[in-house]
């Protein structure tokens, strides 16, 4: 397993943020991710509108994850309407 970081941007409404956060965590754990750390980076104003939203709530996940599972999780993320953007990054050791 490799270590990855996942940055997610959720809609800023509290209920949508909570739903999105639970959905992301469920998708990751169901595909074998071992979440090491979760950082709530807060609600911020966006530099440009995304899906007509001007604010977003950022979360940073650090996890151990198999590379081959990333495309499967990305398919789930694309269908989630509470998730505005996401980015997987391989963490350098």
The structure's pTM equals: 0.89
Residues whose CB falls within 8 Å of the CB of residue 6, separated by 6 or more in sequence, listed in order: 24, 28, 60, 61, 63, 86, 87, 88, 89
Identify the pLDDT of residue 10.
95
Per-10-residue mean pLDDT for the chain, 93 residues long?
94 93 95 94 94 94 94 94 94 80
pLDDT number for residue 34: 95
The pLDDT score that the predictor gives to residue 92 is 83
Kind and range of the H or E run holding 83: strand 83-90
Extract the tokens encoding 45. 């104003």
Q: In the prediction, which pLDDT does 72 show?
A: 94
């Amino acid at each position: 397993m490799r270590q990855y970081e996942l940055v997610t941007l959720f809609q800023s409404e509290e209920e949508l943020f909570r739903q999105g956060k639970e959905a992301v965590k469920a998708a990751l754990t169901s595909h074998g991710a071992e979440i090491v750390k979760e950082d709530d980076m807060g609600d911020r104003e966006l530099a440009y509108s995304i899906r007509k939203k001007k604010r977003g709530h950022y979360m940073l996940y650090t996890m151990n994850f198999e590379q081959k599972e990333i495309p499967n999780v990305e398919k789930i993320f694309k269908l989630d309407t509470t998730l505005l953007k996401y980015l997987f990054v391989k963490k350098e050791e």
